[in-house]
Amino acid sequence: MATDTHNALAAQLAKDAAERFLRYVRIDTQSEEDSETYPSTAKQLDLLRLLAQELKELGLADAAIDEHGYVTATVTSTVSYDTPTIAFFAHADTAREVTGANVNPQRFRYGGGDIPLGGSGSVIRPAVSPELANHVGHELITTDGTTLLGADDKAGIAEIMAAVAYLVAHPDVPHGTIKVAFNPDEEVGRGVIHFPVETFGAVAAYTVDGSTAGEVQSETFSGAQVRMKIHGRAIHPGWAKGELVNAIKLAAAIVEKLPQDRLSPETTEEREGYVHPVLVAGDSSEVDLRFIVRDFEDDQLDANVEYLRGIAQEVAATDDRASIEVESFIQYRNMRDALMKHPEIVEHLDEAVRRIGLEPRRTAIRGGTDGSALTEMGLPTPNIFTGGHDAHSEREWICVEDMGLAAATVVELARKWAEQP
């Protein structure tokens, strides 16, 4: 169990993190996959510029935002000997599935049972979100049911900021040089594509972008995207007999060929991968159909991409007047193998979680983080919990006490890395 000192630290940090979080979520930072700019939406810069300013106000003299929207800053070492430089990352953007505009957060102490979300008709039910059962009596923050909350990943930002504020205010806490980085566009798979890893100066990093308190994550899905451009044959519908080839019906035929009882997010769990249609756009003459493909093993990921190519070929072959172009690309790779070469990075995180009074629980992420890309770029980056749940939905919620535990984990990691062997 946590000591009284650690409980007090987590409580102090929870207060600061929650106050920051409630400010940050009111800023709309939704990213856009089809944008050709970077960041993909200018509104992400509203939060990123605010964060750069807040870091400067904390006394981090080098706090800055660059031309890509990356916010970086350095917390100066408080020890006289050399220690490895570590970093903490979190992303500013929110997902496309649900609007992030006009977020109206609701903060309350949870007494159990269903949680109605304002007058929206949406309800968070313990039967669907079982982690709620562990939070009776805790403070929660939800939406009003009309937007997402943005805990993914504004909670991570708030927790890092609270930890940094604490370390700056307590120079007696021993720690080495700590880097902080906030970035746009994680949700569209481009969060760190321009990040200057080689000049950043960290030997290890941690994303604060997880979920349940105590989780330690050093493995993610590998991810790919498949895009199909379906070309039909257009003609006025009044004279269409024997002439029209409807691209929308071809897209429907592709989706219909997907298995009903496996290989989808709604039918898989744990280490099972999936293919998932995420966008359909177009008209009867041409349709853009997109999938995301996920698996923990790269060979199975490749097999699932080829499976989709095969379905496209089958459907295209039903009418020689139709054609389907298929392209695929890797979005990120499982960070597992690279992190296994640096076991101390995850072991230090395990120890930090123990120091805040929790038993670390190693889990694999059924998704990706910026850490997936950073690890592939040469900066090993496992993931820390935030306390948020049910991301990318109107039913998103977070526990304030868990926010304090996440921020305290950041502080304890800083201490751990400063300990001499």
Residue-level pLDDT at 327: 98
The set of residues, in sequence order, having a beta carbon less than 8 Å from that of 18 and lying 6+ positions away, is: 107, 139, 141, 158, 400, 403
Active site (annotated) includes residue 16: no
Which CB contacts under 8 angstroms, 24+ apart, belong to 169-172?
171/78, 172/78
pLDDT at 7: 77
Per-residue pLDDT of 149-188, as tens digits, reads 999 999 999 999 999 999 999 999 999 999 999 999 999 9
Task: Give the C-alpha separation, 85 to 137, whole Å.
Answer: 39
Residues of the chain with pLDDT > 70, as a percent, come to 98
- The pairing of strands 222-231 and 388-389 is unpaired
Task: Note the pLDDT tens digit of each residue in 95-136.
Answer: 999 999 999 999 999 999 999 998 899 999 999 999 999 999
Report phi then psi at 202, rounded to 5. Answer: -95, 150
* Overall average pLDDT of the 78-105 stretch: 96
Of 93, 152, 153, 219, the active-site residue reads 93
In the chain, DSSP finds a helix count (H) and a strand count (E) of 10, 18
pLDDT mean over 360-377:
92
Amino acid found at 286: E
In this prediction, residues 14-37 reach a mean pLDDT of 97
Q: Which residue in 152, 153, 186, 401 is the catalytic one?
A: 186
- For the cut 50, the answer to whether the pLDDT of residue 2 exceeds it is no
For residue 140, what are the contacts with CB-CB under 8 A and spacing of at least 6?
A: 107, 108, 109, 110, 115, 397, 398, 399, 400
φ, ψ for residue 238, nearest 5 deg: -70, -20
State yes or no: is 131 an active-site residue. no
**325-339, pLDDT tens digit by residue?**
999 999 888 999 899
Q: What is the pLDDT of residue 421?
A: 67
For the chain, give the number of residues: 421
**In which residue are the tokens 């897209």 written?**
251
> How far apart are alpha carbons 95 and 8 in whole angstroms?
34
* pLDDT over threshold 60, residue 5: no
Check residue 357 and report its DSSP letter.
T
pLDDT single digits (tens) 230-281: 999 998 899 989 999 999 999 999 999 999 999 999 999 999 999 999 999 9
Would you tell me how many other CB atoms lie within 10 Å of the CB of residue 186? Answer: 26
Amino acid letter, residue 122? S
* Beta partners for residue 88, in sequence order: 180, 206
Span 348-368, pLDDT tens digits: 999 999 999 999 999 998 988
Q: What is the mean pLDDT of the chain?
A: 95
3-state helix, strand, coil in the chain (%, to 5): 35, 25, 45
Q: Whole-angstrom Cα distance, residue 287 to residue 218?
A: 38
Peptide bond into 337 cis (omega under 30): no
List the structure tokens of 20.
């920051």
Percent of the chain clearing pLDDT 90 (strictly above): 92
Residue 66: which pLDDT band, with cuts at 50, 70 and 90? very high
Cα(388)–Cα(79) distance, integer angstroms: 34
Q: At what angle do helices 151-169 and 400-418 cross, to 10 degrees?
A: 50
Q: Contact, 188 vs 33, CB < 8 A? A: yes
What is the reported pLDDT for 3?
47
Please check the confidence at residue 1 and state whether its pLDDT lies above 90: no
The b/e string for 288-325 (b: 16+ C-beta within 10 A; e otherwise) is ebbbbbbbbeeeebbebbebbbebbeebbeeeeebbbe
